[in-house]
A = this chain, B = another copy of it.
């Protein structure tokens, strides 16, 4: 299933694995936290039931590979809980994060004959997986689904362009500030206002890749933001926003 290099998890997942990371399980839409937002919401209950029988639900540990670049059996998945990253690997082995996926987002590339991107769990997370071919076939019969898929990919495109915005900030402070705000938005249950306290589910290395700066600069910048009283930190990943306006200013610079 996974590509050769993707099996090893360097982040100490083995314990959690043994603790009972669940394998493939049936899909129960009634309990789905994103039933109203995800792509499947475009389907009638009957159609959704049919799709639910074809696909399955899985839980992933942090660091686990969800889709490996090179996989030929393309899946179309919806993230129901947690966060994931999509990344490409250069010939020289450098990883490059090209997208972050939050709950209700789609994982995988619906159209590529083989996946060109790795999809990796950033936190413990859950997803519903479907064979891409089935989804494509169903969308031919259900215009509402086709339209919803189109809207979802368009949304991903907008997000991708927002990411471009993020990393084309000139200064490191601006990039880090924008990243913090992006996660504040994603971490909030309500779309209208952001979370004030949340976890950045990225290592410093991942943040550095994403922002196009070095690990050291990320670290120094976070320290500077904390010293300036703009954020507070709890452990290495916990963030509390103390001065939202200052963060906005930095992010738009």
Report A's interface with B, CB cutoff 8 A.
88, 90-92, 96, 98-99, 109-112, 116-117, 136, 139-141, 143, 146-147, 149-151, 153-154, 156-158, 160-161, 163-165, 167-170, 209, 212, 252-253
Contact = CB atoms under 8 A, between A and B. Distances in A.
Contacts of A139: 143, 146-147, 150
Contacts of A150: 110-111, 139, 146, 149-150, 153
B146 A98 contact: no
Contacts of A252: 90-92
B160 A88 contact: no
A164 B96 contact: yes
A4 to B, nearest CB: 20
Contacts of A92: 252-253
A96 B157 CA distance: 16
A24 to B, nearest CB: 26
Q: Is the interface of A mostly helix, strand, loop or mixed?
A: helix
A107 to B, nearest CB: 13
A161 B110 contact: no
A157 to B, nearest CB: 5
Nearest to A146: B146
A175 B250 CA distance: 25
Most B Cβ at <10 Å: residue of A90, A157, A252: A157
6 contacts: A91-B252, A98-B165, A111-B154, A139-B150, A140-B146, A149-B150
A153 to B, nearest CB: 5
Given A88-B165, A92-B253, A111-B150, 10 more contacts: A110-B150, A139-B150, A140-B146, A141-B143, A143-B143, A143-B146, A153-B154, A164-B164, A167-B212, A168-B209
A112 B154 CA distance: 9
A91 B99 CA distance: 25
Contacts of A110: 150, 154
Given A109-B154, A153-B150, A161 B90 contact: no
A146 B253 CA distance: 39
Contacts of A117: 161
A70 to B, nearest CB: 16
A157 B161 CA distance: 9
A161 B98 contact: yes
A157 B52 CA distance: 27
